[in-house]
Amino acid sequence: MRYSLYIYVFSLMLCLPMQPAGAQQASKHPPSVEDFSENSIVIASAKYLGATAETMAKVVDHAFSRYGIPTAVIRGEELSVSAMLGVRYGRGTLTFKDGREETIYWRGPSVGIDMGATGSKSFALVYNVDKPEDLYKRIPGIDGSLIAVGGVAFHYLRRGRTVVVPMRAGVGYQVGISLGYVKFSPTKSWMPF
């Protein structure tokens, strides 16, 4: 069972960078967030994640009611695998309200009562970050999710004033609860710590 999980994750890792030309073009120019209002975030996240606006309205409303308008958003893709111990890798674009964009990578370990593997699109709301360097640190969180085809999962990461609310939709299956952190950086690395 454990070896088949590793083979599945390895297959996902090989397939992720090999998108068709049309898919690569679409990811270079994702739907824009006209302003960072709740309505614009709902529409942009629903289009990017391929979810319904009704589903995304519930998720985004939850974050807006706790933290208000975000200072940035991250759109990207990620892979995760877990069997008590887990690991997550992602890459995307950090976009600020003023239109600045930076490529960003994230990775992190987790430990908990969870199992599964997913390949997903990620749309994250970022709070209290004025420049990319403010995000380049380890941000802990608890992830409890059930991700299935067409499902959307979200949780909160927080360190000091910095809050990140990742929302994910993708393929695969992951169930359980885990404790870990995500480390954001300007460069790619396979070392999860």
What is the CATH number for 60? 2.40.128.480
Domain-embedded: residue 192: no
Identify whether 52 is part of a domain: yes
Domains held by the chain: number: 1
Could you tell me the residue range of the domain that residue 113 belongs to?
2-185
Calculate the alpha carbon distances from 177 to 72, 141, 144, 151, 155 in Å. 27, 11, 4, 17, 11
Q: Residue 144: inside a domain, yes or no?
A: yes
User: Has residue 193 been placed in a domain?
Assistant: no
48 inside domain = yes
Is the residue at 67 inside a domain? yes
Q: Is residue 31 part of a domain?
A: yes
Contact 115, 126 (CB under 8 A): no
190 within a domain of the structure (yes/no)? no
Q: What is the pLDDT along the chain (193 residues), one digit of tens a residue?
A: 444 444 344 444 434 443 333 333 334 445 456 678 999 999 999 999 988 888 888 889 989 999 999 999 999 999 988 888 889 999 999 999 999 999 999 999 988 877 788 888 999 999 999 999 999 999 998 765 544 434 677 888 999 999 999 998 877 766 767 788 899 999 998 777 7
Q: What is the spatial distance between Cα 116 and Cα 144, in angstroms, rounded to a whole number?
A: 12
